[in-house]
Amino acid sequence: MIGDKFTCRTKLTIEPAHKLKIDQNKLQNCRSNILNLVNVL
């Protein structure tokens, strides 16, 4: 029982953090793309 709760908790904590990391990468890519466009203009 305790083990199941532990694995469930670790999954809950790891997954959202992973999604956040992906979102941050997307944001950084967007920012660099915008900066590149500005530099071209």
**pLDDT score at 16:** 72
Q: Decide if pLDDT at 6 tops 80.
A: no
Task: Write down the pLDDT at residue 3.
Answer: 61
Q: Quick one: pLDDT at residue 37?
A: 85
Domain that holds residue 11: 1-41
Name the more confident of 8 and 18: 18
Q: Tell me what pLDDT residue 40 has.
A: 81
Convert 1-38 to b/e letters by CB count within 10 Å (16 or more is b): eeeeeeeeeeeeeeeeeeeeeeeeeeeeeeeeeeeeee
Tens digits of residue pLDDT in 11-33 = 666 677 777 787 888 889 988 98
Q: Give how many domains the chain has, as a whole number.
A: 1
